[in-house]
Structure 1
Amino acid sequence: MNILAGPKRTHGEGGPGCECSGVVTRVRPDVKGLKVGDRVISIAAGSFATKLMTRENLCAKMPDNLGFSEGETIPCVYGTRGQTVLIHSAAGGVGLSAIQVAQMVGAKIYCTVSNAEKIDFLVKRFGIPRTHIFNSQDSSFLRHVMAATNGWGVNVVLNSLSGELLHASWKCVAEFGVMVEIGKRDFIGQAALSMDLFEQDRSFQGVDLTQISSQRPVLMNSLLRRAIQFFEGGHIKPIGPIREFDAARVKDAFRYMPKGQHIRKIIVMLPEPGQIAQDSLPLHLRSDRAYLLVGGLGGLGRSIASWMVEKGARHIIFFSRSAGSVPKDDPYFRELEAQGCFVQTFSGSVSKAVDVARVIRAAGKPIGGVFQASMVPSNAAINEMTFDQWQIETGPKVQGTWNLHKLLLNRKEPLDFFFLFSSLSGLAGQIGQANYAAANTFLDALVQFRQAQGLPASVLDIGVMDDVGFLTQGNNTDILEALRATTLHVLHEQDLLDSLELMMRRSRPGGRQWSSSQFGFVSGSQVGIGFRSSLPLLARNNRTIWRHDPRMAVYRQARVFLAETSANPGYLLQQFEDKALFLAKEIDLELLLEAPLSSLGVDSLVSIELRHWIRQKIGAELTVLEIVGSASLVDLGGKTVSQLRGRYAALGLRGYYIRISFEFSFVELFFGRGLCLFPVVFVCIHDILYLL
């Protein structure tokens, strides 16, 4: 929120976060009170991490009957410690703990909250009289506190309010009383405090647990141990209710907190260590399992099978209508076998349960994973579509997938993944493909069903493929060109393989589905690729079929945002320069700028790819001969700049509009008359390295 400065790092400690719970994994020889395996709570900076190194005095052992989420609620709130007490923001974490401590010592409690829901919560949960609960949003609590105490005030004010409300809180302190300030805004703002009230022996005490834990760790340890003793004695309880966010949604947790409307402790749950390691390691398929590829002897299936072998697969089963008729000495099969992969082929229909059962029985090894990529196209307008056409298209995907689901249940060796190839048609529809869209929608729904049953499943909704797959075969190229003419973004083989690896990891059940009242149902096991247009959705000549779909509003707004931010060159240029400097550290830039393109591996094939990239991302039209004939990257950059200068000067523009793509993000830059050669050259360098 840019209100407080970030925590300072001292003696190797520090960083975001101040409290946590976990398990001790390592101790120094001089640590006496804790050992490896102890479950502990800790108050220490830098707790937003999967591993934390801290001091023994900042930790305390947790009882066996205390869970990690509950334990995490204790360190900060009970480390803050009467007669009569006024507790501000009493429905927050510190407020709820202060109520329990005050009740434990028999103090009379007055408190403030921000809404009626919190009032009801305090009355029902803690039995605080309604007449003792006031409004924390204005200074009216001063009048009510003084009336309730016959003008005397309270012995202790636990304050977190700022500005005018801090001064109102200070006036609530009785003679010989103390105001305990745990807020920081007025400290940072160097606010003044009325001095006349000190005359009646009132005290003002600022408390910052960060300072205590850093400068007085022994005192902090006594507070932690005392909190645990209070818990074990039944005097206090963990703060509840709890709102948990997993680590991937940590941004949502921080956005949830400042609203001030919650009655709960906010917890960020980090993933299990095994999950972290598994997600970060390269994908490796098992050599002791067979992988069933249904409908996979076309270009797409062969590409996937080769990729599987590279990932460690040593037994692949091809199952399609014609797979069994392919000769055993087929060059592609011989290539796979040369890499140590055993290949089985079976002809049959996945729509027939008997055929599926036969393949499963005949598998040379236990089946470890399934790729369901079967399809039989039968396009027709919905008002002209026959029942047979409907069945031809839906049978392999609907009945076939259900057969795979049923016949692979309850096996001794569970599947590692159950991967389904779906299409954007199932989400956005395509003219003449109602049957195909319906079949793919079934696949999307089945993934939700299997995940709910604790079974592995994931689905990839694929857009238009250019270099592999159904549309690149035979007469289907006409369909590809027709789809390209609608301005749909075209995917390539590597896009598919990258997405395939991601979704195979997400096939594991659990932790990938959640429900949110704000966004409805979300499934991390279903992802669509290729939902992009080569023209802005608002362009008149854009014929993308889903351009008016309300679900694509975010996409449209993102493009509008980029158009608006292009008017702010300073901010976007800084983003570009940061990325450029990062890349410059990784390569010998000066050497690459002057090197002949041939020495960088730029042959005719790479030139074609580079020409396409420059046209799509930068907007310059260069021929393959111009690229191949360039003496160096500097020369190529000069040609690009000259082409852009002539193009935009003809339009009467004051500058040059360049679009640059880096991995999964892109920025749009607007350069003035003094167009710099370096960015264009650097873009070329980056993409050439990527192609190599």
Structure 2
Amino acid sequence: MLTALGTAAPRGSGHETEFWLHEGVLHTNRLVPWECPSICPEHSQAVKLSLDMPLQSELVNSALIFRANEDFMTDSKEDEICLQVEMTEYQGCAPDQRTKQPVIVVGHTISNSRESTLRQVVTLAAQSGYQTIVKTKKGCYFDCEGLDPALLCATLSTVCKVLLCMRWLGRAKKDDHILILHMPLLFAKLAISLSKELNARITIVVATQEESEELYEASSSGIPIVVVEDMHASHMSPVLEATSGKFSLVICNRFSAAGQEAWRHISAAGRFVLCNEDMEGKLDTGPFTKGASFLPMGYENLGTRQEMAAEILQDGLEFLRKNKDIWTSHVSVYNIDQMPTQSKGSQFKASPGSAEEVHAAVRFNYGESSVKILPPIRRVKFFPDAAYLLIGGLGGLGSSLVRWMTERGCRHFIFVSRSGATQQKAAQTVELAEKAGASVQVFQADAGNESDMRAIVARVMKERPIRGVVHAAMVLQDGLLQGMTAAQYQAAITPKLRIAHVLHSVLINSPLDFFVMTSSISGTIGTPGQTNYSAGNSFLDAFAVYRQSLGLPACSIALPMLLDVGVVAENQTVEDSLQRLGFYGIDEVEMLEGLEVARSPNSPSHLILGLDPSLLHRSAGTNRLFWHGDARLRGVQRDLDLLQGSLRASKPDGEVIGDGEELDYETLMARVGDRIVQKCASMLGREIHEINLSKGTVASYGLDSMIGSELQQWLFGEFGLALSFHAFTAPEMTFEGLARQAVEALGVGSAK
């Protein structure tokens, strides 16, 4: 043990920093994906697809497996109708199972007697993964007679995106000059057809000569096509020269340096449509003074707005019927039981909107295709004659818990809170439970006081047993450790530690079904500025292990930021700060799914939400996350690195130091320094001229822990410069010193 500790490198080095010596064996710590026994592939059975069975796909160990969804009732509301899916849009090898996406579906309508009709229709449905039956509102589906279902599934979503960008948002009209900047080829081809229909000029910018040649062949009308292999601002010169530099409508996939340059040259009253809502860099406000509009387009949200989706879908069908000459001669169609498999080198599908995006259709052959089906999910049920104890559950999280628990049979809630039901949200939570037919007792007390809790538990148990506990108490007292008083440090720890210990002592002899403690991801990875809160949550994680070692139920569920309930939902600043650190948020549904696992008899002692590599990649991009190099997260980091390719691959040195031109050291220092000052001014909410490169320390400009972590990530991603947070707070660290270290990290000396 001493040898291991003596050679241990700091956390972030990639080496082991935590050890456990047990019965002569030295263990190290790892976070590993946890598989619920009910979702293991070995529990699946091969079954022929049946028309009367609603199924939902899940991705388990890179295999597409289905589950019978018993909660799905084909009986529809008056304004709804069910569709038996016959063909649908291909969502890649690894469809996103967590967020609902708008997906084209072709199928037959189903009556309430579960009989399929002969009427074939198409709709745009919001779904996660693949489903055999979908619901849609009446008036939101259309006959598709005369149109090839495979063509619809493979191309109609892109048609809808083109119409949304050009007609709905872009308001393209005759004589407009449209710039399509690095969009997928199918999008560009359809945009060319629509521009002809509108009598508008169009210029296409592509990344390769092969794409250029394919577009020339498809358009056959002399459309200007410019090849720009990367997205540097200076490489937009040929485009600007060829088009006189004025565009009334620009459509691009990401707001890169080239996109920013196109935005700066947009014509008066022009429209700029950003297709994926991802922003890189600061938005120049100059074009706004000319009446220009900047319009981020969130296609992913379209599936939840069915009436709007129906209008765009109807326009898309009309466009396809009028433009039969653009129909592709071949569309790839995969049977649902013969989907393409992921190769080892390409573990993840291309991101939507990328040049590698695959346009294909998926067919459901009922009675023929065999798919693997897991047993139905066994939902948590609560005993109606038992009481359930909730500590600190009267806020935003409490209303979610109450709704979920009453839906599953809970009829008696016991709340213990310092403020009782005096707060508005607490009163709303109580009202919600009572309207659902449950009784509610609220005790205004300190749950960390053992004598008070013994009295409360004894009083409740005279009427009915307590069968479960949720410890959700929390206090935030954020700040840098060196600036905290002992009282501030203890304020965040005590509610977590003392209440857990008291609940354990008071209920040690009670036959509980579950003992759930809401921890935080901060206890696992150590969120900057939350040393005390992290420590309190770490205690809960360890305490759950301790209880399970005694044969008692316990699970500590580490939550990331919750987007629609609790503290983050009420404070946009908190959400913005956490997103800058690379965190992504989960919604109420995912949180409740986690609680369902935590409450189950075979739950792990420590369950962590918010570390899905694909969603981390979507949130952090190519930035280095502050926990990068933590050996415990090696598995997550490996998958994240596969997604990112290389942390600096999309940040060529030329973009930083001048597109490959020869630079002397002074010029290089000036350029890197200017770039750092611009970034810091943006993060700190200051004007650039307020920051002096050589006077005043970095910390003196108001750098806090959140901004410091964001700056850490940016410096690594931009220059490969790895600094600790304490380096920023050093009394000798100026912006000039920071620039000097960044130049050294680039390894260019007197740069080429």
TM-score range, shorter chain: 0.3 to 0.5
Which TM-score applies when normalising by structure 2? 0.34
Kindly name which structure, 1 or 2, has the bigger radius of gyration based on alpha carbons.
1
Structure with a larger share of its residues in helix: 1
Greater relative contact order (Cα < 8 A, sep 6+): 2
Which TM-score applies when normalising by structure 1? 0.37
